[in-house]
A and B are shown apart, each in its own frame.
Chain A
């Protein structure tokens, strides 16, 4: 009887202790964009999956893709600060550039609250990282493998155009793309559009280049997928390539980043911080995972010949 009582007491103490631990562990995920934006959702999936059972998670969206005005983003960032003050998280995960630009850098640089960033395009210098209280993962596109494949398809390739929505991350991406392409002797121009009509017109015009690098459509608010698909099938005569998996319906080739990798890594780092590690101890890393796709429907319409090896190794997009 005594032993039974002791056992119950021990179980009670352990449960109470674990309850306190779990109750104390609070995580906040601040997304730069909105729910429903595929890249954003991918990171969120990774975060949620990895943190499940490890801390209590709250999510806040800056929604800066649909509302690009600085005032809006700043206001949303203040909202996030207010939430942090009220919720008092043990660690904050932020995704994509705007969260670092408008929230971490102005309010929490080298402060006590640990931050884990993810989805920062190409570099972290603009935001002054690394901070003593921040670490994370930088998002890079697999441009080198992309260039390698382009050269295998068309050996004399020298000129391409980058068509994208007119948003910050795309500008930032282009800057790096241009540099890497240039290292391979390829000139990459850029065209930014705001409306879907502009995109169609620019796409038609892009056929004068050796290849078309299709950027993000997020930010083109009147985007209409079926029409874009029709346009891609009808007017594509040159190699088209993208790094976003949601742009695969309109591109022959895809060298896609994995959004979940960003979320999973940042969540793992957050757990390590909860377990006692300091953010400054954990090196900032680039994402490593990417995937290779071909869209056979557009390729066959364009009458371009792709290497057999590429057909064999790449995943086939057929939705």
Chain B
């Protein structure tokens, strides 16, 4: 505001300020005067109220005096008891009255008789006394006066007051004059202000009571007929009792002398005062109220003063006036400012416009984005250097040309020219932004990826004056985006779609089948001998196989086929619009191509086959999961049929049902784990040699079904292996077996009579091929280090062979820790003996298929014998499974087999019983 004010000439602002300040003070002064008037009016009203209340209190005295006279006249004579009853009632009625006294006139001749009567009547120590009123202890019996006015009754008759009983008030000059005056006038008379017995200020009003019923007329008669003086004592402070007095008022009551003039006169004595607390030092004015109160025999001056300070001025009003003044001042200044401002504004705005224009030019030139402005017809008016660079047009050349010549856009993919968005923006008057991938055609014909934004420029009445086009080269960003998209949807190794993208396309296909009855077929492919290559030649060779197979199949793929690697050696193809027969035909071509393919690596040649599962997607297959599982099942069937095969998924086929059953087993296994329904059993492996006396047990797992029946593992192990839950089962077995073995080891330490027992724990191929499983076993052994020498892991020959390198590593690392290994089902593989050299095991378990028939089948006999021999040669102990009869055992012993295991030797029992 101050800055704005400086813009107004001083000769203009000064008079305005002066006039407004004068106005402000005038209004404030008037308001203050008005408040003061009202306040004084209020004080006046209050003063009159106080005067009235004071009058009432003073008149109470007269009521008491007159009442007693009336009582006396009614009942002829008032005794002390009647006086007491009357006075008590009066004191209750008029709380401002301090005390009521009865003085009885006693002639000297009658004095002693009177004293005796009073003593008998209730004051046994009564005496007529005289002396200084303020020194009761110096009072003496009164003698030698013609008459006395002793105090004969007083109310309230409290001990502090009755000490005055008997005191002759007539002997005191102050009272004597008042008594004489009262008797002579017959009216109420007040004595001068007195000090009461309690030390406070007060005054006494006396009224005579005469004998007879009619008041005597002459003074002489009045003096001779006077019987009593009734006296009412007012404690000065009680004059103000029950009177509301505003806190700001000083109220003073004076005992007025005879002067009837208003205002304090010399000799007037202050009876009581209630003074207002001192307020602020600034006194606006003094308020004063004085009025004489004349009641029967009493003359009092009421004086009320008050110091009126600033507090009477209503602050709210001052604030409002000040705010109004400020508003007024601002309004005036605003009007003046507007007037002067308009003149100056024109000058300033012209300069500012020039400056702004220069600044805009510089800004636009400095921008990293390209900027072109046009008029309302789309004719170029301005281009910045970036726009020149991107369009290839010089600004001077472009000016005056239509924007459609300068800013040409084409679709980036189709290269189809686009209509000019600038003209559209001008025509519709709306903001436009690039939509989709667009390229700007450079003057030399090159394409540059761009994004643009066009805003219309509006003039008066919303008319479009032109447009501002801002655009930028986004070639590198768009390239990066495409690359990221590609990486997210393609397999790194083969360059074809990855599983995520494949599933997205599958999902879209299922939707279209469901919604539009389109036809899609899924091929699920698994390479047959890939694992052999991978294991024998390494991962590099495996990766090469995958790349070569992809390249082999790529020529078969058109827009109608979506080809993807789903993981490992599994591929998937979605066929769009194929009939089932066409799909089969397509699959055969694929199969033949792969069958003919040979992979060469280090002078080795591998035949790579493929198993293909076909699923004809229909509307009932609601999810990708379903379709993929059907395809997986079909592929598994094809592989089960020996590989290099094609299998079409049939919903009602028995094999598929069996497959479904296996899936159910997976659910059961999961539930059994949750319900803790797995238990460990163990079967003894008996030594056939006399020189071996340690005991061997194979730990077996059993599941308990919902009915409490024991389920043999062969029923669910296949499902568990197929659906990859063996890993969890193995971990459970390892953990629980170790705990039980630990119990046995602890017991063994404390009991030397116990034989050493070895416990063989079966591991699946999935566990043996897993690094994490190896780590798990190590962790468990670390927790149970004492049991290591009692543990043997059994690995099936099939599991070992399917992943020889992993099995070798698994065995090697755990053997370093002291764990022993047994090769289970030995002899079932074609190249069993070949692999035996690579696997550092401690025991060979001869497959039961050979053992069961050694007495009848010569080949079996020869097989077992040769295995026993090999084992013996290699220093590996042999164990014959399924030794169901004693004859077989004898034969095995004879053949040099070290151990035998079978139901005739020991039926499996709970492991808990053996530890």
Q: A interface vs B, CB < 8 Å?
A: 123-124, 130, 138, 140, 268-269, 272, 277, 281-286, 288
Q: Report chain A residues within 8 Å CB of B159.
A: 268-269, 272, 277, 282
Q: How far is the CA of A284 from the CA of B118 in the complex (A)?
A: 12
B162 touches A277 (CB 8 A): no
Q: Report chain B residues within 8 Å CB of A288.
A: 80-81, 84, 122, 157
Q: Which residue of B lies closest to A142 (CB)?
A: B81
A281 touches B157 (CB 8 A): no
A285 touches B122 (CB 8 A): yes
Q: How far is the CA of A138 from the CA of B119 in the complex (A)?
A: 11
A123 touches B137 (CB 8 A): no
Q: Tell me whether B417 is interfacial, beta carbon within 8 Å.
A: no
Interface centre among B124, B126, B136, B137 (most CB of A within 10 A): B124
Q: Which residue of A lies closest to B126 (CB)?
A: A283
Q: Tell me whether B484 is interfacial, beta carbon within 8 Å.
A: no
B123 touches A281 (CB 8 A): no
A118 CB, nearest partner CB in chain B, Å: 13
A281 touches B158 (CB 8 A): no
Which 10 residue pairs across A and B have the least CB separation, nearest first?
A286-B122, A272-B159, A282-B159, A269-B159, A281-B163, A284-B125, A283-B125, A284-B124, A283-B165, A283-B162
Q: Tell me whether B160 is interfacial, beta carbon within 8 Å.
A: yes
Q: Report chain B residues within 8 Å CB of A272.
A: 158-160
Q: Which residue of A lies closest to B120 (CB)?
A: A286
Q: Which residue of B lies closest to A120 (CB)?
A: B124
A138 touches B124 (CB 8 A): yes
Q: Report chain A residues within 8 Å CB of B126.
A: 283
A286 touches B124 (CB 8 A): yes
How does the 8 Å CB contact mask read for B142-179 relative to A, with 1 for contact and 0 for none? 00000000000000011110110110000000000000
Q: How far is the CA of A277 from the CA of B136 in the complex (A)?
A: 12
List residues 49-101 of chain B with CB under 8 A from any CB of chain A: 80-81, 84
B202 CB, nearest partner CB in chain A, Å: 20
Q: Tell me whether B319 is interfacial, beta carbon within 8 Å.
A: no
B123 touches A285 (CB 8 A): yes
Q: Tell me whether B121 is interfacial, beta carbon within 8 Å.
A: yes
Q: How far is the CA of A49 from the CA of B531 in the complex (A)?
A: 116
Q: Report chain A residues within 8 Å CB of B163.
A: 277, 281-283
Selected from B81, B125, B136, B166, the residue in CB contact (under 8 A) with A130 is: B125
Q: Report chain B residues within 8 Å CB of A282.
A: 159, 162-163
Known: A281-B136, A285-B157, A288-B157. 11 other contacts (CB 8 A): A138-B124, A277-B159, A277-B163, A281-B137, A281-B163, A283-B123, A284-B124, A284-B125, A286-B121, A286-B124, A288-B122
Residue pairs across A and B with Cβ atoms less than 8 A apart, 16 shown, are A123-B124, A124-B124, A138-B124, A140-B122, A268-B158, A277-B160, A277-B163, A281-B136, A281-B137, A283-B166, A285-B123, A285-B157, A285-B162, A286-B121, A286-B123, A288-B157
Q: How far is the CA of A140 from the CA of B121 in the complex (A)?
A: 10
Q: Which residue of B lies closest to A123 (CB)?
A: B124
Q: Report chain A residues within 8 Å CB of B123.
A: 283-286
Q: Report chain B residues within 8 Å CB of A281.
A: 136-137, 163
Q: Report chain B residues within 8 Å CB of A268.
A: 158-159
Q: How far is the CA of A250 from the CA of B476 in the complex (A)?
A: 131
Q: Which residue of B lies closest to A116 (CB)?
A: B159
Q: Report chain B residues within 8 Å CB of A140.
A: 122
A262 CB, nearest partner CB in chain B, Å: 13
How does the 8 Å CB contact mask read for B466-479 relative to A, with 1 for contact and 0 for none? 00000000000000
Q: Report chain B residues within 8 Å CB of A277.
A: 159-160, 163
Q: Report chain A residues within 8 Å CB of B84.
A: 288
Interface centre among A124, A130, A281 (most CB of B within 10 A): A281
A156 CB, nearest partner CB in chain B, Å: 26
Q: Report chain A residues within 8 Å CB of B165.
A: 283
B152 CB, nearest partner CB in chain A, Å: 12
B126 CB, nearest partner CB in chain A, Å: 7
Q: Which residue of A lies closest to B136 (CB)?
A: A281
Q: Which residue of A lies closest to B163 (CB)?
A: A281
B139 CB, nearest partner CB in chain A, Å: 10
Q: How far is the CA of A123 from the CA of B123 in the complex (A)?
A: 11
Q: Report chain B residues within 8 Å CB of A124.
A: 124
B662 CB, nearest partner CB in chain A, Å: 87
Interface centre among A130, A269, A281, A283 (most CB of B within 10 A): A283
Q: Which residue of B lies closest to A275 (CB)?
A: B160
Q: Which residue of B lies closest to A280 (CB)?
A: B137
Q: How far is the CA of A282 from the CA of B80 in the complex (A)?
A: 18
Q: How far is the CA of A288 from the CA of B81 in the complex (A)?
A: 7
Q: How far is the CA of A138 from the CA of B123 in the complex (A)?
A: 9
Q: How far is the CA of A259 from the CA of B507 in the complex (A)?
A: 113
Q: How far is the CA of A286 from the CA of B136 in the complex (A)?
A: 22
A292 CB, nearest partner CB in chain B, Å: 13
Q: How far is the CA of A236 from the CA of B159 in the complex (A)?
A: 44
Q: Report chain B residues within 8 Å CB of A123.
A: 124
Q: Which residue of A lies closest to B122 (CB)?
A: A286
A94 CB, nearest partner CB in chain B, Å: 17
Q: How far is the CA of A272 from the CA of B122 in the complex (A)?
A: 20
Q: How far is the CA of A123 from the CA of B120 in the complex (A)?
A: 9
Q: Report chain B residues within 8 Å CB of A138.
A: 124
Q: How far is the CA of A283 from the CA of B163 in the complex (A)?
A: 6
B101 CB, nearest partner CB in chain A, Å: 15
How does the 8 Å CB contact mask read for B111-145 relative to A, with 1 for contact and 0 for none? 00000000001111110000000001100000000
Q: How far is the CA of A26 from the CA of B160 in the complex (A)?
A: 20
Q: Which residue of A lies closest to B80 (CB)?
A: A288
Q: Report chain A residues within 8 Å CB of B162.
A: 282-283, 285
A283 CB, nearest partner CB in chain B, Å: 5
Q: How far is the CA of A288 from the CA of B80 in the complex (A)?
A: 9
Q: How far is the CA of A288 from the CA of B121 in the complex (A)?
A: 10
Q: Report chain A residues within 8 Å CB of B80.
A: 288
B508 CB, nearest partner CB in chain A, Å: 81
Q: How far is the CA of A288 from the CA of B165 in the complex (A)?
A: 16
How does the 8 Å CB contact mask read for B743-778 relative to A, with 1 for contact and 0 for none? 000000000000000000000000000000000000
Interface centre among B84, B125, B158 (most CB of A within 10 A): B125
Q: How far is the CA of A140 from the CA of B122 in the complex (A)?
A: 9
B420 CB, nearest partner CB in chain A, Å: 83
Q: How far is the CA of A124 from the CA of B122 in the complex (A)?
A: 12
Q: Report chain A residues within 8 Å CB of B166.
A: 283
Q: Report chain A residues within 8 Å CB of B121.
A: 286
B340 CB, nearest partner CB in chain A, Å: 59
Q: Report chain A residues within 8 Å CB of B136.
A: 281
Q: Which residue of B lies closest to A140 (CB)?
A: B122
B157 CB, nearest partner CB in chain A, Å: 7
A120 CB, nearest partner CB in chain B, Å: 10
Q: How far is the CA of A282 from the CA of B136 in the complex (A)?
A: 11
Q: How far is the CA of A284 from the CA of B123 in the complex (A)?
A: 6
Q: How far is the CA of A35 from the CA of B80 in the complex (A)?
A: 34
Q: Report chain A residues within 8 Å CB of B81.
A: 288
Q: How far is the CA of A281 from the CA of B122 in the complex (A)?
A: 17
Q: How far is the CA of A124 from the CA of B126 in the complex (A)?
A: 14
Interface centre among B80, B122, B159, B166 (most CB of A within 10 A): B159
List residues 1-32 of chain B with CB under 8 A from any CB of chain A: none
Q: Report chain A residues within 8 Å CB of B160.
A: 272, 277
Q: How far is the CA of A63 from the CA of B720 in the complex (A)?
A: 111
Q: How far is the CA of A269 from the CA of B162 in the complex (A)?
A: 11
Q: Report chain B residues within 8 Å CB of A284.
A: 123-125
Q: How far is the CA of A212 from the CA of B79 in the complex (A)?
A: 29
B116 CB, nearest partner CB in chain A, Å: 14
Q: How far is the CA of A294 from the CA of B162 in the complex (A)?
A: 34
Q: How far is the CA of A202 from the CA of B349 in the complex (A)?
A: 134
A207 CB, nearest partner CB in chain B, Å: 33
B799 CB, nearest partner CB in chain A, Å: 87
Q: How far is the CA of A123 from the CA of B124 in the complex (A)?
A: 8
Q: How far is the CA of A283 from the CA of B157 in the complex (A)?
A: 11
A306 CB, nearest partner CB in chain B, Å: 23
Interface centre among A123, A138, A140, A284 (most CB of B within 10 A): A284
